[in-house]
Amino acid sequence: SRMDLEQAKISGSFEFFESSSIDFGVQATEVSNRAVDSNVQLDNWGGIGEPGALADIIVRSSIEDQFTELSGHDHPDLQTEYFTASLADLQAAGEAYYAGSGTEYANVGDCGTGYCASTDWSTDLRTTEETSAAYIQYNWAGDLGDVPTNVHIGYRYEETDIRSAALDTVYDGSSWVGAGNELNITEATDADGNVIQSFTDIPGNYDVSLPNFDIDIEPWEDMVLRASYSKTITRPSYNDIKGGLSPDGTQFFPNTRPSASSGNPGLVPIQSSNIDLSFEWYYANNSYLSVGYFEKDVKNFIGTGRESGTTFEIPNIVGGALWNRALADSGIDPTQYTEVGRYILDNYQDDPAVDGETIVSVAGDPSIVFDLSRPVNQRTAKVDGIEVNLQHTFGDSPWGFIVNATVADADVAYDNRNSLEGQFVLNGLSDSANLIGFYDTEDLQVRLAYNWRDDFLGGVGQGQGTTTNPTNVAAYGQWDLNVTYYYNDNLTVYFSGLNLTEETRHVYGLTKRQVLQAVQGGPRYDLGVRYNFDL
């Protein structure tokens, strides 16, 4: 994947009264993103070679003494043994087997051995995003009556055009080898036997208006009330807006629908209307207390749209003329599809659709119905919460502390009772808190911090294969230390220590007993020197 960005910006400010000014600007941005991929697959899934052939390559190892800080590390039922090997050694063994087997595979990569990447791209996705924007903001500082006041009122307009071109493989049929468990979707080829590919170009565009308003007043000495309203956007990821529609695989079970997916260049950004209210009390020198409330009404969240269709118009053996003839002649239950396939191979070798152990689709067979999925704008959500911050310095000393906490809530959450279905959720939302003690002088800064975060949903989908079950991250806190010494204007010495008490991290599924990941990382220390040269 490669991304190129070109950007031009003109901005300025005009002060027309002592208390008033206007900021303004225009900006043009072009982002080009290209992603390509190919698949090198030899289909030798295992059981090749002679027993013991890898004895000199693989090494028996154990994690028995590696995770002593994790609860349950010494459980007698824990599988602790595993094998390690050099990837280069495994590759050499695989290449030697391939060379000696005499087998020819369709795609063996640029090196010809099957153990390297191929630049014969099966997919080539090219997306260009051009954005033009203009903004203006009015700033005013003065007194409303006897109350010191600051006001900022702004407006930003953006317009974006998207072009997404995708090189996709053309598929024109299906085949069934040996009446096995799976059918194959076959690629279209030209007269020379080359796979046919074609580019499709899909456009998209949107425009957004983003106002903002902020006001703070000081109704009492050292006390500030602040209120703001704004609209902000988060653009779709490039994976979501890439065009192209392709099957998710080239094999499917005869009694199921294959799946296909695409991006959606027509997506619009996630848009948030934000309200922030706060009270700040600067009760002493370098000390303050603030309490804030925030609210975000978010729309255009990106979910997955699903539908069924015969988009590719690929003929399907199942349900075709030969399939129906076999059902009528044999009386076999159509749900016993491998028996139907075996009957075709045993009895219809004179049919043009049968070649030895292979059955192929023919013109007139019904088209394969695919389950299609693509990203769509479909959801809304509301997030709100409270933030509390306290910074206190002890008199005129360099000693002090900082405490802050955030409590957040949303009107959507993952429902464990619905784990078999796709759900709309907000990832990463949780309560958090920090406690920092500091010593701060002109020459020396010391920070000792405890950072804590409550359980949160890391995402939906798990590495073990399920696409609907949750991945949760357990509550976690750690102590960190930072020390910085300014020897002079040029020389700085610094030290940092992360996770001083060797805390461990845990990732789980539906319950904390369903452990997906347990991490023992230990502390990390950094010692460094910075020097600035005077030129």
DSSP 236: P
Confidence of residue 134 (pLDDT cuts 50, 70, 90): very high
Answer positive or negative: Cα dihedral of 69, 70, 75, 77: negative
* φ and ψ of 142, to 5 deg: 180, -155
Strands 147-169 and 197-220: antiparallel
Task: Summarize the confidence of residues 136-145 as an average pLDDT.
Answer: 95
Query: By three-state DSSP, how is residue 418 classified?
Result: helix
Domain coordinates in residue numbering, the chain: 39-120, 394-535
Work out the angle between the directed axes of helices 337-347 and 321-330 (0-180°, nearest 10): 90
Tell me how many degrees the CA angle 487-488-489 measures, rounded to the nearest 5.
Answer: 140
Asked if the model's pLDDT at residue 44 lies above 80, the reply is no
C-alpha closest to that of 138 among 232, 211, 225: 211
What pTM, to 2 d.p., does this model score?
Answer: 0.79
Structure-token pair, residue 357: 């152990």
Which residue, among 471, 477, 484, 482, has the nearest Cα to 512 in the 3D structure? Answer: 471
- Cα angle value 202/257/339 (rounded, 5°): 145
Burial of 98 per CB tally in 10 Å (0-12, 13-18, 19+)? buried
pLDDT grade, residue 70 (50/70/90)? confident
- Closest to 226 (Cα-Cα) out of 271, 282, 272: 282
Which residue, among 241, 249, 209, 213, has the nearest Cα to 228 in the 3D structure?
A: 213
Which pLDDT value is given to residue 426?
A: 84
What value does the mean pLDDT take over residues 7-29? 95
What is the total residue count of the chain?
Answer: 535
Residue 323: its H or E element: helix 321-330
What mean pLDDT comes out for the span 485-497? 96
Residue 315, pLDDT score: 94
Q: Is the pLDDT of residue 442 over 70?
A: yes
Q: Look up residue 146 and give its two tokens.
A: 């006897």
Give 365-413 as a DSSP string.
SPBPPEEEEEEEEEEEEEEEEEEEEEEEE-TTSSEEEEEEEEEEEES--
Asked if 348 and 326 touch (Cβ cutoff 8 Å), the reply is yes
Cβ atoms of 485 and 494 closer than 8 Å: yes
Q: Which residue has the higher pLDDT, 41 or 349?
A: 349
> How many whole angstroms separate alpha carbon 456 and alpha carbon 409?
11
Amino acid (one-letter) located at 274: N
What SS3 class is residue 338?
helix
Q: What is the pLDDT of residue 303?
A: 82
Q: Report the range out of 46-50, 75-79, 395-399, 466-470 with the highest average pLDDT.
A: 395-399
Closest residue by Cα to residue 216 from 137, 293, 148, 286: 148
Going from the C-alpha of 133 to that of each of 23, 29, 157, 241, the distances in angstroms are 14, 9, 6, 20
pLDDT value for 128 = 95
What whole-number distance in Å separates Cα of residue 482 and Cα of residue 495? 6
Q: State pLDDT tens for residues 229-264.
A: 999 999 998 888 988 888 888 888 888 888 888 889
pLDDT of residue 324: 94
The whole-angstrom separation of Cα 392 and Cα 283 is 9
- The pair of structure tokens assigned to 407 is 């409590």
The pLDDT assigned to 277 comes to 98
pLDDT of residue 45: 67
pLDDT of 465 strictly over 60: no
Q: What is the DSSP string of 16-51?
A: EETTEEEEEEEEEEEEEEEEEE--------S--S-T
The DSSP line for 447-491 is EEEEEEE--EEEEE--TTS-SSSEEEE--EEEEEEEEEEE-SSSE
Mean pLDDT: which of 92-106, 276-290, 347-361, 409-423 is highest?
276-290
Task: Give the whole-angstrom CA distance, residue 519 versus residue 437.
Answer: 27
| 267-311 per-position pLDDT tens digit | 999 999 999 999 999 999 999 999 999 999 999 988 888 889 998
Q: Tell me, what's the pLDDT at 157?
A: 98
